[in-house]
A and B are shown apart, each in its own frame.
Chain A
Amino acid sequence: SQQGEEDPQALSIQEGENATMNCSYKTSINNLQWYRQNSGRGLVHLILIRSNEREKHSGRLRVTLDTSKKSSSLLITASRAADTASYFCATVITGGGNKLTFGTGTQLKVEL
């Protein structure tokens, strides 16, 4: 089974609002990463957070990681229509080399 479960599965918000997506995983990790995918195309790497980090920021993105709860969240602030995409978390499992295990994904729709 996949390492990560994400919720919500789908999220629809208005432009300017914040969007929060959550990811849970099952085993010990080296790091957790978030990717964006537009309309079934290639994935774009957004941000990486190490297992010993609790929070990271990149532009309008804020990622948190709680290893005790095996969960992460991605916050997109002041959303734009161009943020409409699917968002996936992916983990590098401890002892798993550099293989990524992807979550189920959240479909975000930002409406004008």
Chain B
Amino acid sequence: SAVISQKPSRDICQRGTSLTIQCQVDSQVTMMFWYRQQPGQSLTLIATANQGSEATYESGFVIDKFPISRPNLTFSTLTVSNMSPEDSSIYLCSVGVHLRAEETQYFGPGTRLLVL
């Protein structure tokens, strides 16, 4: 199984600023994903981070607000831009892996963000 780390683990930020979250995997993976989990809620997919091309965003999420980089097969970043208190959430990255010939995902520990 892949070992995934995220930095920072948590942060408190002022509104109007931006934060970049890093996701590092210990092996090369094709698919990487970014999720948001608002307080007390389930996970919502923000985008799929594609290596060598632009990320694919889900409905309701845009590149200007959540720019994503994927420079290689082991690393990705998510930036939360021009933050507001509504962006306070846990942000999680995941990687796609094959399990019993099926696709599944393993998750990083998450980044807990509080915007004041």
Q: Could you say which of A2, A31, A103, A104 contacts B102, with CB atoms under 8 Å apart?
A: A31
B57 at interface (Cβ–Cβ under 8 A)?
no
- Per the bound structure, the CA–CA distance linking A98 and B99 in Å amounts to 12
Residues from 66 to 112 in A contacting B, C-beta threshold 8 Å:
88, 92, 98-105
Measured CB to CB, the closest approach of chain A to B104, in angstroms, equals: 6
Measured CB to CB, the closest approach of chain A to B2, in angstroms, equals: 11
Chain B residue with the shortest CB-CB distance to A101: B45
> How large, as a class, is the contact surface on chain B?
20 to 34
Q: Could you say which of A30, A41, A45 contacts B105, with CB atoms under 8 Å apart?
A: A45
The interface size of chain A toward B, counting residues with CB under 8 Å, comes to 23
Q: Which residues of A contact B41 (CB under 8 A)?
A: 104
Measured CB to CB, the closest approach of chain B to A44, in angstroms, equals: 8
A residues engaging B (CB < 8 A)?
2, 30-31, 33, 35, 40-45, 48, 50, 88, 92, 98-105
Selected A-B contacts with CB under 8 Å, 20 pairs: A30-B102, A31-B102, A33-B104, A40-B90, A41-B110, A43-B94, A44-B107, A45-B107, A50-B102, A88-B43, A92-B104, A99-B45, A100-B33, A100-B104, A100-B105, A102-B42, A102-B43, A102-B44, A104-B42, A105-B42
